[in-house]
Structure formats: structure tokens, C-alpha cells
Amino acid sequence: MGEQNYTPPLGTGDTQDYDRAIRIWTRERRWRSALLQATTPVAGETIVDFGCGTGTFAVMLKAAQPEVRIIGIDPDEEALAIARAKAEAARVGVEWRQGFAADLEAGTADAAVSSLVFHQMPVVEKARAFAALFQVLRPGGRLLIADYGRQRGLMRLLFRATIQRLDGVADTQPNADGILPDLIRDAGFVDVCEIDRVHTVTGTIMLLGAKRPA
């Protein structure tokens, strides 16, 4: 496998409580809906959900556009078991894989998405993951990220009191300092832009978009 360092759900590995916490504390419906709109899945496409976790967004994508091939990849076996159950309950077909971005085949996806993953990774692994996602995408492919970004004012205080207590400071502080757009550009992406920002009681979740050059 590729990247070896990652923080488990809630910083503790308590996967069973992860969905409830995300729903209560992050205004999940708001930012997931915005991410889905930004992704705009098109029939016939292949979309990779990197760090798919318990599969909520991968299932949303498939339900929104049944003619899209969805590949959900995550290193956490327990999270993937929950993801499979969600897909079965929703009666949608998603390809679930245990692994990291570097384990995906190059040049096979039209879009790559990721939500609430990068803030849990060391900077070196963040950079490696963006580089791997660049390779996974076909020329012209798009990247959509929803994650904690630059934190300002009250949002920075809330982020410190919640996310950094759960996931630690070392991996999360670069996100709070606004590193993600630079890492995305360094990986070779262009047209890096902020699509939306959602203020929550755990800090600001930012939606970022970018493209692999055509």
C-alpha cells in the first residue's frame, strides 16, 4: 500500500459513533449537499471517493447518478463494513476497496472526491495523497475536497477546542493555517479555487475544487 499514516475515526477508532458525531457537530447535510452539487456526477464517469470512511458520500453520489461508477477506498476495515451495509440498504452498487490513494490505478477516474480526511494526515502524507490523486485522474479530471481549511477568529478557537483535541495538533494545524490549496497546486493541479465554506461548532469546513490539466 501507499500512505501508511492516518488517524482513525474521531481520533480514537470509534467508528460506530463517527456518523452520529459528524451529523451533530459538522452541519453534515449542508456541506455534503454542496459537495455533491460541486461534483456534478455525469453518467458514464468513474469517480473515486478517497478516504470514503463509512460510505455516506459515495452512496449519495451513486444515488444521485446511478450510471456513475463509484470507487470508495479507505484503510479502515470497520468503516468499510459500515459502508457496505449502507450501500446494500440503499440498493446501490459501489466498489469498496481497502487501501490508500497510491493503491488506485493511474488514469482511471474522471473525478476524485474526499471529505474530512486530509486534516487527519501528516503533511508529508497529505502531499503524497494529492500526488496520487493527480495520477488517478484522467487529463481534465476534477478534484473536489471538503475538509477543515484555514480557521479564523472564533472558528480557530472552536477548532482548537474540538477537532484538535480529538485528532491532535500536529496533523490538523497545517489545515488551520491554510496549507491545502498550496499542496493541491504543488501536486500539479490547476484552477484551484474555494467553492464554499461552512462554519460549524467544530470550525470552518471548506470546499475546494481543482483540475488536472487537460
Alpha helices for the chain (secondary structure H): 18-25, 28-39, 56-64, 77-90, 123-136, 154-161, 163-167, 173-176, 180-186
pLDDT tens digits, 123-149: 999 999 999 999 999 999 999 999 999
Q: Look at residue 70 and give its three-state secondary structure.
A: strand
- List the CATH number of the domain containing 38: 3.40.50.150
User: Is residue 192 in some structural domain?
Assistant: yes
What's the domain range around 29?
12-211
- Of the pLDDT bands very low, low, confident and very high (cuts 50, 70, 90), residue 2 is very low
Q: C-alpha grid cell for residue 189?
A: 493541479
How many domains does the structure of the chain reveal?
Answer: 1
User: Is residue 126 in some structural domain?
Assistant: yes
The yes-or-no verdict on residue 4 having pLDDT over 90 is no
Residue closest to 190 by CA, chosen among 123, 142, 127: 142
Amino acid occupying residue 90: A
User: Is residue 129 in some structural domain?
Assistant: yes
Q: Look at residue 102 and give its three-state secondary structure.
A: helix
- Of the pLDDT bands very low, low, confident and very high (cuts 50, 70, 90), residue 17 is confident
